[in-house]
Amino acid sequence: MTTAREVAHIPDGVTKEAFLAALARFEAIVGAHNVLTGEERLTPYYKTMMPADDTDYATSAVLQPTSTEQVQAIVKVCNEFGVPVWPTSTGRNFGYGTYAQGNAKGHRHQVVIDFRHMNRILEVDAELGTALLEPGVTYQQLVDYLEANDIPLWVSCPAPSAIASPVGNTLDRGVGYTPYGEHFMMQCGMEVVLANGDVLRTAMGGVEGSNSWQVFKWGFGPYLDGIFTQSNFGIVTKMGLWLMPKPPAYKPFYIRFPDDEDITAIVDMMRPLRMANIIPNAVVFAHALWEAPAVIPRSKYYDGKGAMPKDAIERMKTEEGFGAWNVYAALYGTPEQVEVNWKIVTDAVKRLGKGEIFTEAELGGKEPFNYRAALMRGGMNLQEFGLYRWRGGGGSMWFAPVTVAKGSETLTQTKLATEILNKWGFDYCGEYIVGMRDMHHVIDLLFDKTDEEDTKNAHACMSELIEEFRKRGYAVYRTNNAFMDQVADCYGPVQRRINQTLKRALDPNGIIAPGKSGIGA
């Protein structure tokens, strides 16, 4: 019986009696074995990498539905008993919060919906290059499906990626490294369970008998898919994606630059090539301290407290062969197209007068080139987990401000970030990812969560990064649960009011992920 369950936490604002009654109803919907409670069964869902007490973000229960109909029934029970639910796809978004649910304004201990059992690949159209997926599908699962069925399509994935979800990553507006790397741009059609239990199929999905749900994004009237990304307005149970046709030729390459100041010239050289689609994928500029964790431990060159000294970084670069900046990109198309574009790229590097360029023929099999080459064709790997070994202690937060793709911006951002990180005793482990006209500046703030002082400093450092970058007109495009309110404030009161208006209209009882992206109940 549910009343005999061990219940360690009760959602804020819900009585124990109401919660136990809701659990009994959840059991009737998904089966008792798919309702998890008690410390022992919930321990895997408690762990976070944020600088916060994990118990503050601990879930009260986990539900594992197997169908859209079960999700509909779950939200109806939640409305009846006032129980908040926090949906997750696979819960592998480590630097942005993992399974942790919101802790905003009295909304602790929400019930997590874990979609691991809704992991069906519903359809892949090999001719049109489309897929329809449930949220529990992983990148590795999708790649394995394509390979097993000899379908010549590539999947764009983040890094590390194999255990993450294409649906979850796209809903958080994540990015990848192939020409299809702007993942939300390559999304087409959603099925969404609304807070009242209704099921919305966006765009062409609303037309009975339509065969164009995964090919035409817009439909008729307002475009709605976007409001269900980084929000708490509904629960996505199906999503369509566009997949990239496998090209006849693929040429990954690497350019090594020796000096920190080179970043300005590198960006200004690569931007025209990216905008003209000579280089069709996102170009990565990885700093030496981002490169190193993939292949070596930090202790090899520095084992002291605080940020890694400049002389140790320079020695590491020299002995390991890292550039200050390490550029990764690729060419795709027919052999003839690749040959023409390769000449354009190499001529641009020659005109710059700095930088050594290498191809797969010269570096194939060597790390970290090997894992970068795999990423740019949608290859699965966990190489980037090396970042978490760099300092040890299990603490990590992604700080990812966005700016324009101009070299002048990089010096400003890199200097500011390094000063703040070093002030609090942390390394600048960063990279720039250049899209068509924007740059995602991705920094992993790595700290020792087992050390109380380090954890306190990491929280203060993250808060200062957000605030100081905001003062200069920069804001992050994603963040972990502990900083969602602060980041939402960066975007101004009007955006917050509009989001709140939509929330109250679509979810008047505030039962879906209150606090997500700074949007309360």
Catalytic residue positions, numbered: 96, 477-478
Percent composition of the chain: helix, strand, coil (DSSP 3-state, to 5): 40, 20, 40
**Cα Rg of the chain, angstroms:** 23
Buried b (16+ CB within 10 A) or exposed e, 485-521: bbbbbbeeeeebeebeeebeebbebbbbbbbbbbbbb
Query: How far is 17 from 11, CA to CA, in rounded Å?
Result: 12
Closest Cα partner for 384 from 453, 289, 300, 294? 294
Query: How far is 308 from 304, CA to CA, in rounded Å?
Result: 8
**Contact (Cβ atoms closer than 8 angstroms) between residue 157 and residue 378:** yes
Closest Cα partner for 414 from 274, 288, 254? 288
What DSSP element (H or E) covers 326?
strand 325-333
Distance from the Cα of residue 493 to its chain's centroid: 25
Q: How many CB atoms lie within 10 A of CB 150?
A: 7
**Contact (Cβ atoms closer than 8 angstroms) between residue 267 and residue 439:** yes
Task: Look up residue 320 and give its amino acid.
Answer: E
Q: Alpha carbon of 510 to those of 9, 76, 134, 275: distances in Å?
A: 19, 12, 24, 42
How large is the greatest C-alpha to C-alpha distance in the chain, in angstroms?
74
**Contact (Cβ atoms closer than 8 angstroms) between residue 393 and residue 447:** yes
Closest Cα partner for 84 from 179, 155, 18? 18
Query: How far is 191 from 240, CA to CA, in rounded Å?
Result: 9
Whether the ω angle into residue 160 lies within 30 degrees of 0, i.e. cis, is: yes
Closest Cα partner for 75 from 232, 202, 193? 193
Provide the 3-class DSSP secondary structure of residue 455: helix
DSSP class of 322: -
- Give me the helices (H) in 424-483, please: 452-471
Closest Cα partner for 459 from 397, 403, 402? 397
The torsion region of residue 517 among left (phi > 0), alpha (psi -120 to 50) and beta comes to left
Q: Which residue bears the tokens 């797969």? A: 360
Query: How far is 480 from 86, CA to CA, in rounded Å?
Result: 14
